[in-house]
Amino acid sequence: MITASVVLFNENLETIKKTVDSFLKTPLEKKLFLIDNSPENRLEKYFKHPDIQYFFTGKNIGFGKAHNLVLDELDADFHLILNPDVTFSPNVILDLITELLNNTDVSFITPKVLFPNKENQYVCRKHPTFFDLINRKFKISKPETINNEYRNQDLEKSFCPEFIHGCFMLFKTADFKSLGGFDERYFLYLEDADICREIQKIEKKILYFPNVEITHQHQKGSSKSLKLFIHHLSSAIKYFLKWGF
């Protein structure tokens, strides 16, 4: 059995339907938790399904806190943290579970991630630094970006990076629960970087596994919205105060 959680906030109905459909086609016993942070409950009626449990929070409580709402409900061996704009084939989760079972020291696994045009998304990263965040925003140094995203190594081979951008994080549920889920001090952004640090603290690893792939639209909201950029900046301050610059 596997569980998955998706946090929603004013999502496009057709986009989230494709994500939900991808998960429901996985040939395993499953349960999907949809946690809706939108101000209006306009989506629940479209997701009446025996394998779906819908939570409407009535307000935006944040990404990590919303995922953590279902911590006590997780009773499967594996739990997927899934973005609402991701699609994948039915075999993907099965292949990832097989690889997880072969790696006792790995807490979560992520596949190759592609844009809809099939270009690669560089989800593997070094731990964030202050300069890295500035560089990503203003594109000061391309060599630094290449180094930070592991582009100077063969990304067609599995390896354990420091940090994986979290659009599709397949956890061993026991590890996710032992960490207490995400640090809820982050409203949005960097909660994935933070949990990678926490995994490192318990002397476990995260695994990038490019033998299977998913498609992620990746909206890059903080580069388009001042409000989201402020959320990103606030999370960065919390992250660096916690982990250092």
Q: 88 by DSSP, 3-state: which? A: coil
Domains of the chain: 2-243 (3.90.550.10)
Region of residue 12 (left: phi > 0; alpha: psi -120 to 50; beta: else): beta
Please list the pLDDT of the chain residue by residue as tens digits (245 residues): 999 999 999 999 999 999 999 999 999 999 999 999 999 999 999 999 999 999 999 999 999 999 999 999 999 999 999 999 999 999 999 999 999 999 999 999 999 999 999 999 999 999 999 999 899 888 999 999 999 999 999 999 999 999 999 999 999 999 999 999 999 999 999 999 999 999 999 999 999 999 999 999 976 655 567 888 899 999 999 999 999 98
Tell me how far apart the alpha carbons of residues 104 and 225 are, in angstroms, rounded to a whole number: 41
Its pTM surpasses 0.85: yes
Order the strands of the 30-36 sheet from edge to edge.
Answer: 52-56, 30-36, 2-8, 78-82, 168-172, 106-114, 205-216, 86-87
